[in-house]
Amino acid sequence: MPKITKDKITIPGLASVHSHAFQRAMRGRTQRQALHAGSFWSWRGLMYQLVEQLDPERMYTIAKLAYTEMALSGVTLVGEFHYVHHQNGGIPYDNRTELADAVIRAATDVGIRICLIRTAYMRGGYQQEATAGQQRFIDPNTDLILQDVETLRQKYADHPLVNIGLAAHSIRTVPLEANKDLSDYATLHSLPFHMHVCEQRRELEESVAEHGVTPIQLLADHGILNDRFVGVHSTHLTKNEIKLLGEAKAFVNICRTTERDLGDGLPPVTELIEAGARLNVGIDSHCCENAFEEIRAVENDERSRLEARTVVGNADFLLDMGTRQGYASVGLKDVWEKDSVTITRDHIAIAGLPDEYLLDGVIYNGLPSMVEQVSVDQKVLKNLQPEDVARTQADYVKVLKNILSS
């Protein structure tokens, strides 16, 4: 798969198929014990504060910075799990897809592919009222959600870098009947269908309380698991749920840098692969931006879980997971070979490695600074010159000064 010459190694473009671009603005602000101690749920409190301060232009500026940083790290495709849809208080914009359009524009201005995964969010949680922070995510019914999906599909039908997917945010925020309707629509139109699943143990307890079964079992019981289903995180699974994901040939999206950051636990990666599930990766919260780390972390964290070495697969397998499998999980299996990343061999981190070990060096020690050139749709990205990056960064710094000031 990689092409090796005397000076360079060229690999397929890297796919990061789970992202919440706006969360890039939280980087570095959630790590202190006194302020954000405890848990995923306290982290989520800050995320809601940020959400209340987003407008379309701020959304665009933050997303553009996030995507620029991703592209510099070799990412050619982002799956944007987009769930901030409305104005504060939950009032829709006149153009209902205003914020989705802003995010899409950010990606296409950088020049990378985007699968805008229009995400359904319908309630605060099981037996929980929606908080103020959640109002911007919520739609009262699936008709409105699917109307937006139709709008986006039509609007971007001819755009070479844009395609549209569909997601249910999670079992806790989308009632079962709605979940089935959304999944049926995705099946009817052959769209990818993504969902956060089994990330936190509390989520499992709530699923059992509401439905009597854990999340993956519930989805299997209601025909929602299939080969277009992408289970994001899939951390806490029963043996039978691993089997169900494998039998369905579902995708499992692993976001190790974010999962580590949030203290989510370790997913049963090797069991999932053995069962037949297909793995890929995602940058998710943008707490740490290095696409190579996202890939190798799947192997390295599994080593920690199993107390053994080389457990998931060799570098070719990991590269396939970070490229082809990512593209396939957002409905782009036919274009993945059109995107590529060229890496210089003249870099301190891999200098001197012979051809036979070069890919291992790139996967296990890859850094954004090794990336020399990124091509999407067989064209070199022109918008990553230092002056472009500096402008994007300056715009972002201005936005950052006006939000999350404390």
Catalytic residues: 233, 284
Encoding tokens for residue 104?
């899409």
Helix, strand or coil, per DSSP, at residue 53: coil
Residue 198's region, left for phi above 0, alpha for psi from -120 to 50, else beta, is left
Q: What is the maximum span of the chain, computed from C-alpha positions, in angstroms?
A: 61
Q: Which of 333, 311, 310, 312 is nearest to 323 (CA)?
A: 333
Measured from the Cβ of residue 304, the count of other Cβ atoms closer than 10 Å reads: 10
Q: Under a CB-based contact definition with an 8 Å cutoff, are residues 234 and 278 in contact?
A: no
Q: Which of 100, 120, 90 is nearest to 59 (CA)?
A: 100
CA 101 from centroid of its chain's CA atoms? 18
Tokens of 69: 């940083």
Residue 204's contacts (CB-CB under 8 Å, 6 or more residues apart) are 198, 214, 215, 236
DSSP element (H, E) containing 99: helix 98-110
C-alpha distances (whole Å) from 170 to each of 125, 206, 219, 272 are 9, 11, 11, 20
> Which sign does the torsion angle of CA 4, 9, 13, 16 carry?
positive
> What is the DSSP code string of 55-81?
-HHHHHHHHHHHHHHHHHTTEEEEEEE
Inter-CA distances, 364 with 56, 63, 259, 281, 314, Å:
38, 28, 19, 15, 10
Pick from 28, 16, 67, 9: which is nearest to 349 by CA? 9
Q: What is the C-alpha to C-alpha distance for residues 80 and 163, in angstroms, rounded to an integer?
A: 11
